[in-house]
A and B are shown apart, each in its own frame.
Chain A
Amino acid sequence: MIETKNLTKRYGSLLAVNRLNLFVPKGTIFGFIGPNGAGKTTTIKMLAGLIEPDDGKIIIRDMDIRQDPEKAKQQIGFIPDRPYLYEKLTGLEFLKFTADLYGVEPSGFLKKAESLLDMFSLIDWKNELIEAYSHGMKQRLIMSAAILHDPKIIIVDEPMIGLDPAGIKMVKNLFRELADSGVTFFISTHTLSIAQDLCDKIGIIQKGRLIATGTLDDLKIQAHASSGDLESVFLKLTREESFHQGYSDVPGVSP
């Protein structure tokens, strides 16, 4: 499971994440949505141990990531939104590098790597230098590398960018299968349809604050909307929140 307690991050005078409290139980796919600049990527990077919070705690499977970052990272598979890789390695070599880094048993490596490459339709490209891969192929290679060491938690920033429709379908099925086997997902996305289809729970962040969280039905109740899809719920909640924040500083005016 993933838990954050009063997680806070500032960039100079900008409060990127403001006392974020979250709890994602084991085997849940948690979708994290919000407008541009709301603090999604900053939160993701803190959860993956890439940047350090100014305040608060991140608990990954009962481990404080600040206390024992290496042990916590061992449990995580991270998929960033931009697929920067070592361009002079081949796909298979990159997987071997990742496997050695995360301590995957060498004897079973090749079988596992090839089955992942096959699943992500990269098997014919396994011995090509990564510099020859397209954006979508690099994204699929990163996904293969992220699940190669059987992580218990997978953190994903924009999972479907660069993937074709077949790839999107395959990734959705894979994530669901892994979640059913107990893997916890934390997914940040702008694609609300994917969040609606894939996620068990959704959190909405705006200007660094968590403004709503729960299942789609919970969010509908919070938005006072009896029907409608996630898009209309999201727009309603974020618009209301902007209104609240816009008038909160004006004396005598109540929203």
Chain B
Amino acid sequence: MNDILTLMTPRLLSFRNKKGNTARLLLLGIIGVAFWGGLFAVSLRLLSYFQSIEELGNILAWKLLSMVMVIYFSLLVFSSILTALSKLFLSKDLLLVHAMPVKTYKIFCARWIESAVDSSWTIIIFTLPVLISYGIVFKAGLFFYILILLVLLLLSLIASIISAVVVMVTVIIIPPGRIKSVFVFLGLLLFLLLYLAFRVVRPERLVDPEAFESFLSYLKILQTPSAPYLPSTWAFDAIQASLTGITHTLYLNFSLLAACGGAMIFISLIIADAIYMKGVSKSQTARKTLRKPRVPQNPRVLSFLPMHVQAYVIKEIKVFFRDQTQWSQIFLILALIVIYIYNFKVLPLERAPIKTVYLQNILAFLNIGLASFVLTAITGRFAYPAVSLEGEAFWIVASSPIRLKTFLWIKYFIYFVPLLILTEGLIIATNILLQVSPFMMWLSIITILFIVPTVVALGIGLGAAYPDFNSENAAQAITSFGGLIFMMIAAVYITAVISLEAGPVYRIFMSGIYDRSIHMSQWVWIFGAFTLAVLISIFTVIFSMTYGVRRLTRISRRME
């Protein structure tokens, strides 16, 4: 046990010695508490509403609980697989640790504990408000709250062991570098399939009285029992039994969970002792990727650009497309865009109680905001981490005869062009499906023409101002302090532009429908509002890029 604790000391000491920025921690804390509180309020409201429905209420509450437990368990398994893979096979300190005179199973144990804690603490914290709401609505005693904590801990323990074993066995077959991409891809595919299935079922039809018959059959499915051998089912049964007071079911299922957890610890230690070292040794062999011999030549389409700009554009595109994790993200985004457009196709506009032309154009106007938020999410995932992705090779940029300002603007245009095409494509496609007026079509196109450069500038500028050159995962960059600032400023900016345009657009649109004239004073107001929106956009572009250049210059010149 002492060896395991010693092996974990560097992590504990690093955590203790970590210098946190108080303002940043406070902001993250506030966001976390707000999210937790929001989740708690929504769960409480939903469960109270369920309770008010005779008979059906309990069925819905139990089904929701069963879904929460299944989702909790699947999320844990998936997130544990990725962390276990990093901790057990991809960590930078692995060679150092394995060179120490410590038994393999002890190293595995220390790594597994770290992985279990890392992969489960956030999921536990954000599942608690849902389960606490059950306790309050079902008027449970103190024992229930202790039980849910124990159940969540046991489920996390089981999930992390399953993941560690899966990872250890898989590494023997596939190299660790590839497994990460495979699991990320499979996870995204699973999520997409679930989402597509949910979308194609069109749950909005359940509120349509004509489709009520299918709702009854839906309820029948709700009552079907879950898989009896899944730990999440035992967890659900234990919690349900505790709330309904069926003691023997509670004891049986809780014992099953505890026994399964205990047994799996021993099994995993035996497996670790047998194969962990083999996997580690396999992960250390050099990867050799044979490529088709090709003389690097710059494409003609870029020949109008200066040589150094071509160099960065080509490098950026090659590095991006050769990273499999980026590919899986692109698939996810393309699928989400298809779903986004499909949502507009299935909108039941003809059955709406308000005039169709009016509704179509309102939706088109709101769609500018929605498409801009989609743009923000994509910018956050791809453009924001662009500077951080240079990683420890940033010295190449810093020592090159190119100004950081030029470097940043090159990055800007690399992301601006595809994002502009994507967002304009999105807005034009949805407007065609909505059959909007030419005025609304042009308004959407022009507004997006201002929003895209601004949001991309925010992404690149703030990404440069808050770079993380040591990050191993680009997707995580957006969850950093700078990423949150980017998301917040982008949201405020989009809301400001939409709000500034809302009044004037309404005036112009109504005057068109009712054939009313617009007076001079209204024209001045309309012109003023649009001009202000344009000025805010230009100011934000200049400010974010200048801020990014300044901070990146300062950071790069102070790097030790």
Q: Which residues of chain A are near B315, meaning CB under 8 Å? A: 86, 89, 93, 97
Answer yes or no: A200 CB below 8 A from chain B CBs: no
Q: Which residues of chain A are near B559, meaning CB under 8 Å? A: 50-51
Interchain nearest-CB distance for A108 vs B (Å): 13
> A95 — nearest CB in chain B belongs to which residue?
B296
Contact present for A90 and B308 (CB under 8 Å)? no
Q: Which residues of chain A are near B392, meaning CB under 8 Å? A: 82, 84
Which B positions have Cβ atoms within 8 angstroms of A? 286-296, 298, 307-308, 310-312, 314-315, 318-319, 322-323, 391-393, 395-396, 398-403, 556-560
Answer yes or no: A85 CB below 8 A from chain B CBs: yes
Contact present for A88 and B558 (CB under 8 Å)? no
Contact present for B400 and A101 (CB under 8 Å)? yes
Q: Which residues of chain B are near A70, meaning CB under 8 Å? A: 401-403
> A53 — nearest CB in chain B belongs to which residue?
B557
Which A positions have Cβ atoms within 8 angstroms of B? 11, 42, 48-52, 69-71, 73-74, 76, 78, 80, 82, 84-86, 88-90, 92-93, 96-103, 106, 110, 126-129, 131-132, 134
Contact present for B391 and A84 (CB under 8 Å)? yes
Interchain nearest-CB distance for B282 vs A (Å): 16
Contact present for B293 and A127 (CB under 8 Å)? yes
Contact present for A49 and B295 (CB under 8 Å)? no
Contact present for B289 and A128 (CB under 8 Å)? yes
Contact present for B292 and A127 (CB under 8 Å)? yes
Q: Which of A50, A100, A106, A132 contacts B395 (CB 8 A)?
A: A50
Closest 8 CB pairs of A and B: A100-B311, A84-B392, A52-B557, A96-B296, A88-B322, A74-B401, A73-B401, A78-B399
Interchain nearest-CB distance for B410 vs A (Å): 11
Known: A97-B314, A128-B290. A50 touches B295 (CB 8 A): no
Q: Which residues of chain A are near B312, meaning CB under 8 Å? A: 101
Q: Which residues of chain B are near A90, meaning CB under 8 Å? A: 291, 296
Interchain nearest-CB distance for A113 vs B (Å): 9
Interchain nearest-CB distance for A95 vs B (Å): 8
Contact present for B403 and A86 (CB under 8 Å)? no
Contact present for A85 and B393 (CB under 8 Å)? yes
Q: Which of A71, A80, A106, A127 contacts B401 (CB 8 A)?
A: A71
Interface centre among B322, B323, B400, B558 (most CB of A within 10 A): B400
Contact present for A50 and B314 (CB under 8 Å)? no
Q: Which residues of chain B are near A106, meaning CB under 8 Å? A: 298, 307
Q: Which residues of chain B are near A85, meaning CB under 8 Å? A: 393, 396
Q: Which residues of chain B are near A128, meaning CB under 8 Å? A: 288-291
- Could you tell me the distance between the alpha carbons of A123 and B559 in the complex, rounded to whole angstroms? 34
- Could you tell me the distance between the alpha carbons of A76 and B557 in the complex, rounded to whole angstroms? 17
Q: Which residues of chain B are near A92, meaning CB under 8 Å? A: 295-296
Known: A70-B402, A88-B318. A97 touches B393 (CB 8 A): no
